[in-house]
Amino acid sequence: MSATDSATELYALAGGLRTAFLRAGYTTDGVLDLLGDDAQGALGRGEPVPVRRACAGGGELGTLIRLFLLGDTCPRTAVAAALAPVDIDQAVAFGLVRHDSPGAGAAIDVRPVDLGAGNRWLFSDLDGTLRRHDITEDHVLGVGQASLSLLRATATDPVDDLLDIGTGCGVQAVNAADFAAHVTATDVTDRSLAMTRAGLAINEISSDRVTLAKGAWFGPVGGRTFDRIVANPPFVVGPPKVTHTYRDSGLDLDGASELMCRTAPKFLREDGSASMLASWVITGDDWRQRVASWIPDHGIDAWVVQRDVADPALYVGTWIRDAGRDPRDPAAADLADRWLTHLDKAGVTGIGFGFVFLRRTDEPSDLLAEELGHAFHDPLGPEATDYLNRVQWLRTHRLVDEKFKVTDGAALERVATLDPDSGWQDVVIRIHRPDGPRWSHEIDPLGRSLLAGLRPDGLNLSEVTELLTLATGAGHIDAPAVQDFVEGLIRHGIILPAHWDAAR
């Protein structure tokens, strides 16, 4: 049997593996208990020795950690005992472990993860972090930083139908099964779908609730619409060639992200939303214009968030290393050269990366593309929902007639320098939001006074502006400028409509 053929049978082992893993304590909590914080940290850094030391005397759990998390060869009798009731010969035949004379080693990665709703297990290919090996074209990626960032950027309020494009090891689909009545997960490789099927089975997620479909992009779901779409597609920017399906789409440059942005809207139900990872090339034009051109003029509210930008050299080097290759190796160097030449010819000076959030409406589209480069800890999924709710609110209200409140906990920061004649002089005033993406805006003294005047049970914006004109002797306050100022703060959740909870 080839590796792909054997993976198709993996799901048949899932029930037995679940029994074995629960007995041994091969769960997120169990692994942490045995390893302790230090060895767990070493595991994350790809340093096997502290982990092996912590596993000594760890019984079946120690064997499973060494087998699946370190990729160690372990004594065959210990592996057989740890996997029981799964028969070790069957585990070999079905591609879970391999004979590694004189012992046995893992043929794939199966690990406990906590995606936010307790322990789950996921199957993927060995990632080569702890043991170097070549990865195949249909290599199935495990749960990585990108997977987790999309997971945290996905709203988890209940929906009927969710679509996961490019499911890989099934991480988004398994997570979505907690809040979606039905999940459709697609991928172009049989191996991904086999791993996902095994992941669903071991987590006892009924096959009635998840449909797996093979095919590219939206091909397998033609004619259907969804309440939510999630996608961590193969968005890597490069020549139109597939070396690894997890990263290459076969489309030129940022074609994969463009295709997803242009096509996803057609598969969303009214009010349906999409959370997608995407990247875009920067060619001298403002990156915002490029991404904006992918969003239809009507029927979509879009929030595009650029999290990072890499220069071409850093970008190509990172992806070459990600595939387990040494950039100094002649074949890898040749690949890097061709890749960089391709980017150069296209005039690419940088590659932006981030999230695209979409929501279907009946109205002309609204698009905000902006940078969010600073660190924050709150998940972006609830923020995306709130942001799109605020956009809908803005569409249906005249700001001048409305009353507002400054969000709870917002902080005003004043930076002042000492002037010998006039004392401390403000050079910058900022208003900070304490939660979510922790936005901050520079404001002027007039803006500061305006914010101080906003009360949910007080005056409306027009009245506050008039009062401010009189109080400051400003003579004339530019009303459109005030509205732009307020709208920007509403979009970022620093100012909220007076009865915002009720408004939602």
Ligand X SMILES: C[S@@+](CC[C@H](N)C(=O)[O-])C[C@H]1O[C@@H](n2cnc3c(N)ncnc32)[C@H](O)[C@@H]1O
Residue numbers at the binding site for ligand X (CB under 6 A): 141, 147, 150, 165-168, 171-172, 186-189, 192, 216-217, 232-234, 245-246, 249
Give, as one character, the DSSP assignment of residue 78. H
Please report, for residues 194, 214, 405, 484, the alpha-carbon distance to residue 165 in angstroms, rounded to integers and kept in the order given: 15, 10, 40, 37
Pick the closer one to ligand X by CB: 263 or 460: 263
Nearest distance from residue 211's CB to ligand X, in Å? Answer: 15
Rounded to whole angstroms, the Cα distance separating 225 from 269 reads 6
277 DSSP β-pair partners: 355
Residue 442, number of CB atoms within 10 A of its CB:
10
- Give the torsion sign (CA, 393, 396, 398, 402): negative
- Least separation, in Å, of the C-beta of 50 and ligand X? 27
* DSSP H or E run through 362: strand 350-364
Record the tokens describing residue 445, joined without a space.
């003294």
Is 204 in a helix, a strand, or coil? Answer: coil
CB of 190 to ligand X, least distance (A): 10
Structure tokens at 460: 């409306």
Closer CB to ligand X, residue 244 or residue 491? 244
Question: What are the start-end ranges of the E strands in 188-225?
Answer: 210-214
Q: How far is the CB of 156 from ligand X (least distance, A)?
A: 15
Burial code (b: 16+ CB inside 10 Å, e: under 16) for 394-422 equals beeeebeebbbbbbeebeeeeeeeeeeee
Pair of tokens at residue 317: 């080097």
Smaller CB distance to ligand X: residue 189 or 273?
189
Q: How many CB atoms lie within 10 A of CB 193?
A: 22
Q: Which is nearer to ligand X, 235 or 404 (CB)?
A: 235
For ligand X, the closer CB: 220 or 493: 220
- 110: β partners: 123
- Phi, psi at residue 304, to the nearest 5°? -110, 125
Q: Which CB, 172 or 407, lies closer to ligand X?
A: 172
Smaller CB distance to ligand X: residue 246 or 485?
246
Cβ of 365: how many Cβ atoms within 10 Å? 16
Bridge partners (DSSP) of residue 278 are: 354
Based on CB atoms, which residue is closest to ligand X, 85 or 116? 116
Q: Kindly tell me which of 234 and 238 has the beta carbon lying closer to ligand X.
A: 234
What is the Cα–Cα distance from 323 to 137, expressed in whole angstroms? 10
CB of 18 to ligand X, least distance (A): 22
The residues, ordered by sequence, that sit 6+ positions from 394 with a Cβ below 8 Å of its Cβ are: 487, 490, 491
Element (H, E) at 306: strand 298-310
CB 413 within 8 A of CB 429: yes
The encoded tokens of residue 349 equal 């000076």
Q: Least distance to ligand X from the beta carbon of 453, Å? A: 46
* Maximum C-alpha span of the chain: 89
Query: In angstroms, rounded to a whole number, what is the distance separating the alpha carbons of residues 495 and 487?
Result: 9
- Residue 415 parent element (H or E): strand 411-419
User: How near is the Cβ of 367 to ligand X at its closest, in Å?
Assistant: 25
Shortest Cβ 223–ligand X spacing (Å): 17
Closest CB to ligand X among 24 and 165?
A: 165
Nearest-approach distance from CB 193 to ligand X, in angstroms: 9
Q: How far is the CB of 2 from ligand X (least distance, A)?
A: 17
CA-atom Rg of the chain in angstroms: 26
Q: Which two tokens stand for residue 282?
A: 């920067």
Question: Minimum distance between the CB of residue 159 and ligand X, rounded to whole angstroms?
Answer: 18
CB 189 to ligand X: min, Å? 5
Question: Cβ closer to ligand X: 63 or 192?
Answer: 192
Question: Which residue number, 322 or 463, has a Cβ lying nearer to ligand X?
Answer: 322
